[in-house]
């Protein structure tokens, strides 16, 4: 199985890394993001690889629009058999400052959008009598907890429970696994480190990248940040034939931050 792959959040740091790895492996790409500009940047980055690439601008919170885009992707790629749910919303919040809109938005993107993407993907595969594989993006925040990540961490824990349930529901034709990235310097972390510099008096004036480095030192036994290539490699493995007997699993790519 090495058909085309639908990647959500393809305009982001990790989504782009996954797209680059998939195209290097010779797989066609249906790239999805809410941000048209960033999506075009990713499409341009993989354009020279000689695989078919389509772009689809959609807000995954709009379930009807998401379903339509998944159907569109299957029409554009007649060998589509992989789905990587990278799109996600992060952000630090003091638990007592969390408002209903932020909570709902976090869950609409990180949980609801992931579920309905998989539901639509599995239905399209079933119509074609084809097998496939899904990789979901969770986070170490789902396991360890963090005082500033109540909404994000709990939504990412929901992704793990969803992965287990759908692995059972969709077997034996579709495998569903998750990756739990550690700390990767993408826009999500740039914003989070900026938030800390602004809100934590002890970090006032400290450069965001320095805050991130200190976090890596504190949380990661391997004493180095993870890279988009580290995570994309794990995704490639879980989608590959080497993982044909692996489903419902959660693979940490976190330099040992969380141990079972």
Residue 255 in contact with ligand NAD, rule: CB under 6 A = no
**Tokens standing for 6?**
């639908």
CA dist., res. 38 & res. 143, Å (int): 30
Query: Are 39 and 31 a contacting pair, CB within 8 Å?
Result: yes
> How does DSSP assign 30-99, residue by residue?
EEEES-HHHHHHHHHHHGGG-S-EEEEE--TT-HHHHHHHHHHHHHH-TT--EEEE---------GGG--
Question: How far is residue 39's CA from residue 250's CA, in Å, rounded to a whole number?
Answer: 27
183 lies in the binding site for ligand NAD (CB under 6 A) = yes
208 scored as a contact of ligand NAD (CB under 6 A): no
| Token pair recorded at residue 141 | 């925040």
Q: 1 to 20, contacts with ligand NAD by CB under 6 A?
A: 9, 11-15
- Interaction residues for ligand NAD, span 37-96 (CB under 6 A): 38, 59-61, 86-90
State which of positions 21-40 bind ligand NAD (CB under 6 A). Answer: 33-35, 38
| Residue from 54, 186, 247, 250 binding ligand NAD (CB under 6 A) | 186
**Among this protein's residues, is 152 annotated catalytic?**
yes
Residue span 131-150 as binding mask against ligand NAD, x where in contact by CB under 6 A, dash where not: ------x-x-----------
Q: What separation in angstroms does the CA of 245 have from each of 2, 57, 205?
A: 16, 33, 50
> Least distance to ligand NAD from the beta carbon of 173, Å?
25
User: Whole-number minimum distance, CB 139 to ligand NAD, in Å?
Assistant: 4
Structure token digits, residue 220: 């990661």
| Residues that bind ligand NAD in the complex, under the rule CB under 6 A | 9, 11-15, 33-35, 38, 59-61, 86-90, 109, 137, 139, 181, 183-184, 186-189
**Positions marked catalytic:** 152
């Amino acid at each position: 199985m090495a058909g085309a792959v639908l990647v959500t959040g393809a305009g982001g740091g990790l989504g782009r890394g996954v797209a680059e790895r998939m195209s290097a492996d010779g797989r066609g790409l249906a790239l999805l993001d809410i941000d048209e500009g960033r999506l075009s940047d990713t499409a341009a980055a993989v354009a020279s690889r000689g695989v078919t690439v389509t772009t689809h601008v959609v807000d995954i919170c709009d379930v009807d629009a998401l379903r339509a885009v998944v159907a569109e992707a299957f029409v554009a790629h007649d060998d589509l058999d992989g789905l990587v749910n990278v799109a996600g919303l992060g952000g630090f919040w003091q638990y007592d400052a969390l408002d209903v809109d932020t909570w709902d938005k976090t869950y609409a993107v990180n949980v609801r959008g992931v579920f309905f993407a998989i539901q639509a993907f599995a239905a399209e595969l079933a119509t074609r009598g084809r097998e496939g594989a899904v990789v979901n993006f969770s986070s170490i925040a789902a396991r360890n907890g963090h005082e500033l990540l109540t909404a994000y961490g709990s939504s990412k824990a929901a992704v793990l429970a969803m992965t287990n349930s759908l692995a059972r529901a969709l077997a034996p034709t579709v495998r569903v696994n998750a990756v739990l990235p550690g700390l990767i310097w993408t826009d999500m972390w740039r914003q989070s480190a900026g938030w800390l510099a602004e809100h934590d008096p002890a970090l006032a004036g400290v450069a965001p990248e320095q805050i991130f480095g200190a976090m890596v030192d504190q949380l990661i036994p391997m004493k180095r940040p993870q890279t988009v290539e580290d995570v994309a490699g794990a995704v490639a493995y879980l989608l590959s034939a080497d993982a044909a007997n692996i489903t419902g699993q959660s693979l940490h790519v976190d330099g040992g931050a969380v141990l079972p």
